[in-house]
Amino acid sequence: MNEINTVSLDFPSRSVNEAFARGAAACFAAQLDMTMTELGDIKTAVSEAVTNCTVHAYPDSIGTIHMRLRILEGNVLEIQVKDKGRGIEDVERAREPLFTTGGEERSGMGFTIMESFMDSVKVRSRPGAGTTVTMRRRVGRRPAGR
């Protein structure tokens, strides 16, 4: 798919930056004339991806989170969230609902939530080298006059 627009951001894995990432993604995605529901879905998926980096990739330190947002032809929004943290030992197991390595206070629903709000979620990870989550969602055009 051809790229129409793109932006990249790097920010520290501090929990306060999760709100920044949500807002930045929503502002970028708004050019697709999304509904408020669609924007909310995008913000939730970004929150989960960024929180995973903060909690799991860099549990004992502050690292860098890289987020790339792209608008692709056909009204497709692509969001990539990448870290260079611990990585995931078993990606398939990590994608199972309720599985977590973050302790009792974590729900283990991050990937499940991302998958419920996006059309596709791809996860690539190498232990010790980091994780890349790439999410896509096609946005329907609203009828003229709305």
> In one letter, which amino acid is 131?
T
Please report which confidence band the pLDDT of residue 142 belongs to, taking 50, 70 and 90 as the band edges. low
DSSP 136: E
Could you say which of 68, 95, 106, 124 is catalytic?
106
Domain ranges, ordered by start, for the chain: 3-138
Active site residue 106: yes
Could you say which of 17, 22, 38, 52 is catalytic?
52
Segment 32-83, tens digit of pLDDT: 999 999 999 999 999 999 999 999 999 999 999 999 999 999 999 999 999 9
3-138 carries CATH number 3.40.50.2300 = no
> Percent helix, strand and coil across the chain, each rounded to 5?
35, 30, 35
Tokens describing residue 143: 């009828």
pTM: 0.88
Could you say which of 18, 48, 70, 137 is catalytic?
48
